[in-house]
A and B are shown apart, each in its own frame.
Chain A
């Protein structure tokens, strides 16, 4: 149901009743707050983990523990709206805590609190530069944990402020609108833990409304298809000449305002900037599907697409999280200094496999083995042609075999790279060994129909990608199917 919070915990259902009014004014903090705050704790030390769990539970938080960073990451990816804050140790064997911090910041933008027995200045500084919102020195006292909720609230407050600022420029075209698709209760619920980041469900058909009649301006949901349209428009205009007004005209989406586009453009620019710091590819690699600008960014974003598909292993992701994430790619200036190295991007592939191992994951909120054959097509990277995407989708084997193979064909015409991800042996190392570029490109000559026959129902293309096979470059109206059928998504932005 639109706007309804999919609450997995009975306790959390209390949170649903919070109105945005209460959240707006700091004085009116509800009594139950911050009980039910969903914390993910990542620490390889079992003793610490157990102690932290107990402490957090004593604080009335909802705790999920994890002793492996990879598992935590894939769990986060599969359930982007499932947590409010992450607590992570700095020194972990399988992944550096700061690395995890980076990933989380880029992909989910959750507040992350680092922990370490090391209290050296440089370590704490590292936390700051990597975007941690706090740094706790071990041994951790329960008092230190009692207040971690402040980071969640602060972050959301800042997000709202951002929204308000970007949306308040002009109010000429902001008319109060009603739409079946926009549920007012969802904006009212924006203040609650789950819903500030949660967006509408499958019914959303990509039409966003900017409603000024509620107290809080609802965030325009930049669903995948909307963002695609945006990107198409931007590319058509040329990134340098892409002005919000023109983009808006090209997109031709009813209800979208210039301000929405402007703020989205701002984020997009940040995103691109970050990407270009990573990309080692020359622009215009010769893939006819991509425009020069796209080509420049294509590698990375197409990697995102792969990453996403590969990562979808449980059906628990919601369209909301996807849409939400689609709106969040450019977020967080503190992290703008971070370039995710190519190797890291590739190593991300390995994480999708680890999420299938739930032994280490307690109180996991996932529904691991259901819905495996779903919608790999979601999280379409913005710059990737649907055709390419369909190809990618179709080459992925069904999850039932736990063998996520995303084979990106290597073609002569384009600089493709073969990245094969099998589970679970093929970890970051193997991917790291691949000497080819990080760009999973599809050769231009791959025909969609040929690939389609391969898959033949193995992978459900529920988002109707095949319909989109006509390719981008047209301003087609928002596709209902994309958002609608998607029941589990990792956002396309997964750098």
Chain B
């Protein structure tokens, strides 16, 4: 029982830091609120889906960035997609980098795109790590009541 409580506390803390450190925004809460008995692992499922899809997008962007000359339209398109899915899970920092990237595309700034892309990848990795750790503990802790989930 002690262990359970500890775990629960840990989950709460980890969750809070996700928000405090700006990894996720309110949209993440929207996902959490969708989680119910019929979909008890909804958030994790969505995030997993996001990983899969974004891996594909990131690789496409990488390939596109290797082209010369750069096809800014294509890049913008790809990044737009990535921005959409990132925002849908509430990935705040990743989304911000996507927006930045998009601006570079519009400006035809290849250098800017490259830099932005690198930053975006870093944020994405960081987010993934955080979320994976969080879900792991959450699974261990087991179901928590909503009262303990405060934003």
Residues of A within 8 A of B49 (CB): 46-47, 50
Q: State whether A55 touches B80 (Cβ < 8 A).
A: no
The distance from the CB of A272 to the nearest CB of chain B, in whole angstroms, is 38
Write out the residue numbers on chain A whose beta carbons fall within 8 Å of the beta carbon of B27: 139, 141
Check if B104 is an interface residue, CB within 8 A of chain A: no
In the complex, are the beta carbons of A46 and B87 less than 8 A apart?
no
Answer whether residue A9 sits at the interface, using C-beta atoms and an 8 A cutoff. no
Query: Is B33 on the interface with A (CB-CB < 8 A)?
Result: yes
B17 close to A (CB within 8 Å): no
| B127 CB, min distance to chain A CBs, angstroms | 14
Docked CA distance A116–B87 (Å): 11
Residue A11, interface by CB 8 Å: no
Query: Would you call B34 and A54 a contact (CB within 8 A)?
Result: yes
CB distance from A144 to the nearest CB of B (A): 10
| Cβ contact within 8 Å between A47 and B80 | no
Is the C-beta of B31 less than 8 angstroms from some C-beta in chain A? yes
**Cβ-defined contact, A139 with B90, below 8 A:** yes
Docked pose: A16 CA to B94 CA in angstroms = 47
**Contact between chains at A54 and B84 (CB < 8 Å):** no
Contact of A91 among B34, B53, B81, B88 (CB under 8 A): B81
| Nearest CB on B from A124, distance (A) | 16
A47 CB contacts on chain B under 8 angstroms: 46, 49-50, 53, 85, 88-89
**Cβ A117 vs Cβ B80 within 8 A:** yes
User: A360 at the A/B interface (Cβ < 8 Å)?
Assistant: no
Q: Describe B's contact surface by its main secondary structure.
A: helix
The reply to whether B34 and A51 form a contact with Cβ atoms under 8 Å apart is: yes
Contact count A vs B, C-beta below 8 Å: 61
* Structural contact, A139 and B83, CB atoms closer than 8 A: no
| Residues of A126-154 contacting chain B, CB below 8 A | 138-142
Asked whether A472 is an interface residue with its Cβ less than 8 Å from the other chain, the reply is no
A55 contact set on B, CB distance < 8 A: 30, 34
A118 within 8 A of B: yes
Assess the B30–A91 pair: CB atoms within 8 A: no
CB contact under 8 A between A45 and B85, given known A55-B34, A58-B34, A139-B90: yes
B118 within 8 A of A: no
Decide if A48 is an interface residue (CB 8 Å cutoff).
yes
Report B66-101 residues with CB < 8 Å from chain A CB: 77, 80-81, 83-85, 87-90
Residues from chain A with a CB closer than 8 A to the CB of B50 are 47
The docked-state distance in angstroms from the alpha carbon of A48 to that of B80 is 13
Q: Assess whether B85 is in contact with A48, with CB atoms less than 8 Å apart.
A: yes
Cβ of B39 < 8 Å from any Cβ of A?
Answer: yes
Q: Does B42 contact A (CB under 8 A)?
A: yes
CB neighbours (8 Å) of A89 from chain B are: 84
Whether B80 lies near A45 (C-beta < 8 A) is: no
Least CB distance, B96 to chain A, in whole angstroms: 13
Query: Once the chains bind, are B39 and A117 in contact (CB under 8 Å)?
Result: no
Inter-chain contact A117/B84, CB cutoff 8 Å: yes
Contact of A46 among B39, B53, B77, B83 (CB under 8 A): B53
Q: Are B39 and A54 in contact (CB under 8 A)?
A: yes
Contact across chains for B33 and A91 when beta carbons are under 8 A apart: no
Whether A142 pairs with B87 at a CB distance below 8 angstroms is no
In the complex, residue of chain A having the shortest beta-carbon distance to the beta carbon of B48: A47
Q: Which residues of B contact A46 (CB under 8 A)?
A: 49, 52-53, 85
B88:A45 contact, CB within 8 angstroms: yes
A140 (CB) vs chain B CBs: closest residue: B88
A44 to B82, CA, bound (A): 11
Contact at B46–A117, with CB atoms within 8 Å? Answer: no
Task: Given contacts A46-B52, A54-B34, A139-B27, list 4 more A-B pairs with CB under 8 A.
Answer: A45-B85, A58-B36, A117-B83, A138-B87
Q: Which residues of A come within 8 Å of B, CB atoms?
A: 44-48, 50-51, 54-55, 58, 89, 91, 116-118, 138-142
List 8 A–B pairs whose Cβ atoms lie within 8 Å, in order of A's numbering. A45-B81, A54-B39, A55-B30, A89-B84, A91-B77, A117-B87, A139-B27, A141-B30
Q: Please provide the 5 A-B residue pairs with the shortest distance between their CB atoms, ordered closest to farther.
A: A117-B84, A47-B85, A139-B27, A139-B87, A48-B88
